[in-house]
Amino acid sequence: MSQKKSSQSLTFPMPVDTHVHLTLGGDPFENAHRQLAAGVAVVRDAGDRDASLDGLELPSALTVVRTGPAIFKKGSYGSFLGENRDLTLSEIIARTPSSFVKVILTGLVSFDVYGEVGRQQWSFAELSEIVRMAAAVGKKVMVHVNSDKACREAVNAGVHSLEHGYFIAFETLEMMAEKGVYWAPTVAAMANQSRDPDGRFSVDQLAIIERNYKRHMEMIQFAHANGVKLTIGTDSGSYNVPHGSSFLREMEIFAEAGIPVTEVWRIATENGRQLLGLEGEPLLSIDQGQPLASLLDKSKFLLNHQCRPPTFLFR
C-alpha cells in the first residue's frame, strides 16, 4: 500500500497496464520495450492466438503476466486472440500460463448504431461453468464484455474482472463494488478513434464514437465514487492504440472524468498490482499535484537507471 512520507509526498509501487496485446501492433519484443520506455513496469497480456508468445524471450525488466489464448466460441469474435486448436475447455484452462483465464463473452461495440454490441457467445450457465472450472485449478477469469446485460451476467457468474464494459449501468457497477469485481474500462481504445488519423470513419460514426467514450467517462467517474476497483488497462496493440504511450492517455482520460490525479496514480499502480496479486516495493515518491506525465517520467528513470537490477520477474 502507499505510505505517507510527509504531508505532501506519497510513495507507490511501479505502474501496471492490466490489459495489453503484445502480439498485436508490431513485434512483441519491440512492443514490450515500448511499454518500458513509457514507464510501465508490469503488463498483463490479454490473449495471444494459439499461445504465440510461448518460447519468446521478452525484456527481463518487464513483468509479463500472460493469460494465453482467449477462450471464445468457434465461429464468433475472437479467433485472432483465441485458442483455435482442437482443445477442450479444461485443456485450454489448464494450459493457461498464469493464474488468469481470458474469456470473450461478447463482440465489439458498433460504430454504426449507438448502444449495439456484437452478440453474446456464452450463456450465463456456460460462463458460470467456465468460472467454476477455472477456480477448480486455482485460476481467475477476466472477461471481454460489453452491454449491461452481459456485464451483469459476468458479475453474477463470479468473474474477477470486467474488460471494456461499454454500456454498463449504474446498478451493475454498484454490484461490482459490493462483490469486489475489478474493472479495466479501456476508454482510450474508444477515445483514440475519435482522432481518426486514417480517415476511416464517417461523420455519423465519429459522433457515435464520441458519444460512446463520453458515456464511458461518466461511468468511470461513478465507479470511482462508489468504490469499484478500477485499473488502467489500455488494450494496447488494438487499432490506433499504440503500446506505451496509451498508458498516459488512459490515465489522462480518467483525470478528465473527474478523478484526482493522486487517485489515478493509485489506480495505475496499487490497484493494478492488487488485481494481479503482485507485491510491489514502494519505489515512486511523488508530490501531490504533480502532473501524470511527470510521474511517469520518474517511473521511466527508475526502469532505465536503477543502480540495482530490477526486481521484476517474467511469469
Residues 65-121 have pLDDT tens digits of 999 999 999 999 999 999 999 999 999 999 999 999 999 999 999 999 999 999 999
Nearest to 111 by CA among 193, 168, 187: 193
pLDDT exceeds 90 at position 281? no
pLDDT exceeds 70 at position 54? yes
Cα distance between residue 92 and residue 85, in whole Å:
9
Cα distance between residue 247 and residue 68, in whole Å:
22
State whether the Cα torsion 126-235-233-220 is positive or negative. Answer: negative
Residues 204-250 have pLDDT tens digits of 999 999 999 999 999 999 999 999 999 999 999 999 999 999 999 99
Nearest to 189 by CA among 104, 252, 249, 266: 249
Q: Which domains are present in the chain?
A: 10-305 (3.20.20.140)
- pTM score of the predicted model: 0.93
Question: What is the pLDDT, as a whole number, of residue 5?
Answer: 42
What integer is the mean pLDDT of 192-212?
97
Cα distance between residue 288 and residue 291, in whole Å:
9
The SS3 assignment for 301 reads helix
Question: What is the pLDDT, as a whole number, of residue 231?
Answer: 98
Question: What is the pLDDT, as a whole number, of residue 7?
Answer: 47
Cell of 214: 463520453
End-to-end CA distance of the chain: 22
